[in-house]
Amino acid sequence: MKYIYLDNAATTQVAPEVLEAMTPFFTEFYGNPSSIYSFAGESKKAVEDARTKIAGYIGAKPEEIYFTGGGSESDNWALKATAEAYANKGKHIITSTIEHHAILHTCEYLEKHGFEVTYVNVDENGIVKLDELEAAIRPDTILISIMAANNEIGSIQPIAEIGKIAKEHNIFFHTDAVQAFAHIPLHVDEMHIDMLSASGHKINGPKGIGFMYIRKGIKSGSFIHGGAQERRRRAGTHNVPGIVGMAKAAELAVNAMEDRMEYERKLRDHLISRVLEEIPYSRLNGHRTNRLPNNANFCFRFIEGESMLILLDQKGICASSGSACTSGSLDPSHVLLAIGLPHEIAHGSLRLTLSEQTTMEEIDYTVDELKKIIERLRSMSPLYEDFVKKQNQNTK
Ligand SMILES: *Cc1c(COP(=O)(O)O)cnc(C)c1O
């Protein structure tokens, strides 16, 4: 069976060029980059080349890039290690209500350990309210952590403005850029970013590899204790194939960025127009244009998200109702609640995230099937039946 894969915010397919770049580091150059003999030099060189490449894509220096086990680890590191290193300066952190759970759950952990966290609200489009953010700053605020782009509704945050506010107040600024890195332009100096998290598997690279940018001069203790790898800050034998693969994926994505954004936007806008025009009682979540080029997120009234996903799956369509981490639980998405949707509407959400492999035919097939599925589910819904009855009475 052929799948239509519209869940690229959850993970992506490894590009053939990425796999090709990685393979020799499993089979041929398997040396440990920390070893002395020249055979290991190939691995070491590959790791350092990857570091230089990745640094270049965000305007950083190679020695400011630290390889990690993925986006979640980078997020944990940014918050926990900064909190620990600067606890004597203050114990207050600012973040937003729509962050990924890698940030939110780490904040909860820190709250249990003596830190205070302010969760800044977003507007109805899922954009962080800058006036609220600035008002939340206190003399003991040490860190602001706001994501670059949201993984559920795709809203792109005003990162440069947030960076400026943080800098003016002499507070560190971390951004979870897992959905943004190599998807949209980022520059750590122009945007006053002090720390940045990214991940390989969201950019057609391998899973289980990520990186963290830490601006030179920022104190950050060892996050993983052990060997002296990564300037003694993150111990553990380098995941050489992963690092090589992530750098290759970043190279491909950055070089193709303009064209890909244009292509995905065209598909996304067609998808959004068709859904809103052809499916009654549907709404788009997030800003119409200020969103990731590959992201569409809808709510359908009188529909339960999980049933929609199961029926889409039967048609070979891979979609999600929020983030992969929240599906499986019955709680509505915290992001949809944060943009002001009531529980019963937030329950009927659908996220479709495209890739450059997605075709217009796949989009049209998906909308055609979705229309039928929603009609079918509504025809079985007593709530919908009541609603239609009331509508009819009102128009009489
Ligand atoms: C996927 C994702 C993460 C987690 O990254 P992993 O590499 O899967 O650990 C963190 N933040 C955002 C915004 C994400 O989309």
- Other Cβ atoms within 10 Å of 133 Cβ, number: 22
> Cα(102) to centroid of ligand 1, in Å?
7
Which mutation among 7, 174, 202, 204 tests ligand 1's pocket best, with the greatest number of atoms within 8 A of CB? 202
Which mutation among 7, 11, 68, 72 tests ligand 1's pocket best, with the greatest number of atoms within 8 A of CB? 72
Running DSSP on this structure, what letter comes out for residue 194? S
> Cα(199) to centroid of ligand 1, in Å?
7
Q: What is the pLDDT along the chain (396 residues), one digit of tens a residue?
A: 689 999 999 999 999 999 999 999 999 999 999 999 999 999 999 999 999 999 999 999 999 999 999 999 999 999 999 999 999 999 999 999 999 999 999 999 999 999 999 999 999 999 999 999 999 999 999 999 999 999 999 999 999 999 999 999 999 999 999 999 999 999 999 999 999 999 999 999 999 999 999 999 999 888 999 999 999 999 999 999 999 999 999 999 999 999 999 999 999 999 999 999 999 999 999 999 999 999 999 999 999 888 999 999 999 999 998 644 444 556 789 999 999 999 888 988 999 999 999 999 999 999 999 999 999 999 999 889 999 999 898 876
Atom of ligand 1 minimally distant from the CA of 102: 10
What's the predicted TM-score (pTM) here?
A: 0.96
Q: What is the pLDDT of residue 347?
A: 87
Q: Does the CB atom of residue 303 touch ligand 1 within 6 A?
A: no
Main-chain dihedrals φ then ψ at residue 253, nearest 5 degrees: -70, -40
H-run or E-run covering 118 = strand 116-120
- What's the CA gap between 240 and 139, in Å, rounded? 42
Q: Does the CB atom of residue 320 touch ligand 1 within 6 A?
A: no
Q: Whose CA is nearest to atom 3 of ligand 1?
A: 71
C-alpha separations of 216 from 18, 194, 203, 281, 341 in Å: 30, 9, 26, 51, 41
- What's the CA gap between 325 and 310, in Å, rounded? 17
Judged by DSSP in three states, 295 sits in strand
Q: Does the CB atom of residue 126 touch ligand 1 within 6 A?
A: no
Q: What is the pLDDT of residue 384?
A: 92
Q: What is the pLDDT of residue 94?
A: 98
Q: Whose CA is nearest to atom 10 of ligand 1?
A: 71
Atom of ligand 1 minimally distant from the CA of 149: 13
> Cα(71) to centroid of ligand 1, in Å?
5
Q: Does the CB atom of residue 107 touch ligand 1 within 6 A?
A: no
Residues with a catalytic annotation lie at 325
Q: Shortest CA distance to 342 belongs to which of 299, 391, 280?
A: 299
- What lies within 8 Å, CB to CB, of 388 at 6+ separation is none
Q: What is the pLDDT of residue 330?
A: 64
Q: Does the CB atom of residue 176 touch ligand 1 within 6 A?
A: yes
Atom of ligand 1 minimally distant from the CA of 73: 9
- What's the CA gap between 226 and 298, in Å, rounded? 46
> Cα(119) to centroid of ligand 1, in Å?
19
Cβ(83)–Cβ(143) below 8 Å: yes
Q: What is the pLDDT of residue 327?
A: 47
Q: What is the pLDDT of residue 326?
A: 46
> Cα(186) to centroid of ligand 1, in Å?
17
- What's the CA gap between 305 and 321, in Å, rounded? 6
> Cα(145) to centroid of ligand 1, in Å?
14
Q: Does the CB atom of residue 178 touch ligand 1 within 6 A?
A: yes
- What lies within 8 Å, CB to CB, of 27 at 6+ separation is none
